Amino acid sequence: MSKEENKEVKEEVVEEVAEETAEDVVEEKKEPDSDEIIEGLKAELDKAKNDVARAYADTARKYRFQQPATEILPILDSMEMALKVQTEDEVIKNYVKGFEMIHKQLKGVLEKEGVQEIDAADKPFDHNTMQALMQEKKEGVESGMVIEVLQKGYMLKDRILRPALVKVSE
């Protein structure tokens, strides 16, 4: 072998060894041992558990008033029916004034907690917030419009507590 050939062979061997060494280094960096993998997965799992627990707590806090509000709504309906009484008797008028004050306070508490009345009267029927109990043909009213609210509906923030029960035009 000539000097030149010998030099080329040495260069090839050096290049091959360098490539193998580089590949070994890359392989070592790519493959963490199983303990490191397990620890990384445990950390990710703990983070996911904390995120789910935080989201659940936020939802529970946001809708904490749902059950009491659902139980108060029939009382509010009864008060509104009582307030519709028309009379000339002074004693009954005083009771009506008392009911009006209590009604106003009760509505204020509900509003403070995020309970809102669903505005349905004279609106297009919305199946997400309303429940149609009847249909009636009414002149001068286009089809699908709410013509009467039979029972008010309420929402707690973005959740339906009770849909509005309505009569819809045909």
Which pLDDT tens digit goes with each residue over 17-38?
A: 556 655 555 555 567 788 888 9
Which pLDDT value is given to residue 161?
93
Which pLDDT value is given to residue 85?
79
Which pLDDT value is given to residue 163?
95
Which pLDDT value is given to residue 60?
76
Which pLDDT value is given to residue 123?
92
Closest CA to 163 of 130, 117, 127: 130
Residues near 80 by beta carbon (within 8 Å), at least 6 away in sequence: 103, 152
Residues near 149 by beta carbon (within 8 Å), at least 6 away in sequence: 120, 121, 164, 165, 166, 167
Three-state SS sequence of 20-46: HHHHHHHHHHHCCCHHHHHHHHHHHHH
Where do we find the tokens 């004050």? 101
Which pLDDT value is given to residue 86?
84
Which pLDDT value is given to residue 28?
52
Which pLDDT value is given to residue 105?
94
The DSSP symbol for 124 reads B
Which pLDDT value is given to residue 24?
57
The DSSP symbol for 145 reads B
How long a stretch of residues is the chain?
Answer: 170
- The ranges of the chain with pLDDT < 50 are none
CA gap 153, 163 in Å, rounded: 4
* pTM, entire model: 0.64
**What does 108-153 look like in DSSP terms, one character per residue?**
HHHHHTTEEEE--TTSB--TTTEEEEEEE--TTS-TTBEEEEEE-E
Retrieve residue 170's tokens. Answer: 């045909």
CA gap 127, 165 in Å, rounded: 11
Closest CA to 80 of 57, 108, 103, 53: 103
Alpha helices in 84-155 (DSSP H): 90-112
Chain centroid offset of residue 153 CA: 18
